[in-house]
Amino acid sequence: MSDDKLQNEKGRKNHVITIDHAYHGHTLATLDVSPYKHRQGKEMENCPDYVTRVPCPDIYRGVHSVKKIVHQSAPGVDLKGGMEQQYRKREIEAAEKYIECEKITSQGNSVSAFLMEGGMSVAGVILPPKSYLRRCVSAVRKVGGLYIADEVQTGFGRLGKCMWAFQYSEDNDGALDYETIIPDIVTVGKPFGNGMPLAAVITTPCIAYTFESLGVEYFNTFAGSPVCTAAGLSMLHVLSSEHLQVNAFDVGNHLVELFRELEHRNEWIGDIRGSGLFLGVELVRDRTTLEPATEETSFLCSVLKDRYKILTSIDGPHENVIVVKPPMVFTRKDAELFVSSFEKALVEDLPVVAGQLEAWEGHQLDMVSATYFGEHGWSV
């Protein structure tokens, strides 16, 4: 049962609000609300008329950012905390203005739903600042819309401090928003089956009954597999019995500490963000202008794989964010090996080709990497 069908059955019409750079899937309906695909591919140039795209809450380089204080503090100062403190001064504008509910309704349209990933991966590992999500949801519900939480990538404890990413946003007293933010619809997937194809839509009885009352039978050829169900139950058992959410919190904090130390030794690192085992390391050529180190990030990702046998991925609008999403059983020892290898790649490998990477792009960049790897006897 797809979430777009459910939100339509609520009786709302016209507009779905989505976040810029979001990615929600490959079906036609989810492609409509995935601006990431509109920018990256050629199949769709923009959101359809019924979709309203609002700015991504990126406090590092987005429209909500406070760039002036970035890296202007002495080593050891909590830059991230300072950025969020400045951001809070704008949070009402950021959430209530940019969510555009009043604009939509003033034009005679209604808001059907607000769809957001609790942790935005392809956007460059973006977690909403304090109170942002609550204010967005409040504005949407005020005009009768639903809140759909996409937990396909970040659900089941990956953020460490909470089971679901939509719980991440905090109050001033540091308490989690368990009672404040309850989605109308939640989608879960990838980690649910730990590699097995398993996904689910979780919703309220009211919405489920409304869907059922239409009288259109819903069925799915691939649903209800006992094998996948067994895999999901086993995953939940291991997640609980081996305390993997606690592990994500502990190892994630250790990873951040290690990267913070590296950040003060190496100016390629512009920002470190995320929570638990959902982290992003953004690389820049200049910490003041925030010029993205796109080619260097690509090279670094390749070096980590070919020389150090470590798999990472790259995300973000400028493709300059190394995404750290290891298995939930990742240990402190694993974290130390990873960051040590990361630093070697930055200090030993990247300087050798840095001058060439800045001038070359596309397949030429691949040639630079292939030449470097070949000279060192590594496979490509």
Handedness of CA 294, 300, 301, 306 (dihedral sign): positive
Alpha-carbon gap, residue 239 to 251, rounded angstroms: 15
Bridge-partner residues for 201, per DSSP? 187
Containing H/E element for 367? Answer: helix 362-375
Q: Which pLDDT does position 68 carry in this prediction?
A: 39
What is the reported pLDDT for 172? Answer: 44
For the entire predicted model, the pTM comes to: 0.84
Phi, psi of 270 (to 5 degrees): -95, -35
| Helix 362-375 × helix 294-306 angle, to 10° | 40
- pLDDT tens sequence across 246-287: 999 999 999 999 999 999 999 999 999 999 999 999 999 999
Least confident of 44-58, 61-75, 99-113, 276-290: 61-75
Grade residue 43 by pLDDT with cuts at 50, 70 and 90: low
124-145 pLDDT per residue, tens: 999 988 778 888 898 899 999 9
How are beta strands 15-19 and 51-54 bridged, if at all? parallel
Q: What pLDDT, on a 0 to 100 scale, did the predictor assign at position 8?
A: 53
User: Average pLDDT, stretch 206-218?
Assistant: 86
Cα–Cα dist 54/263, whole Å: 31
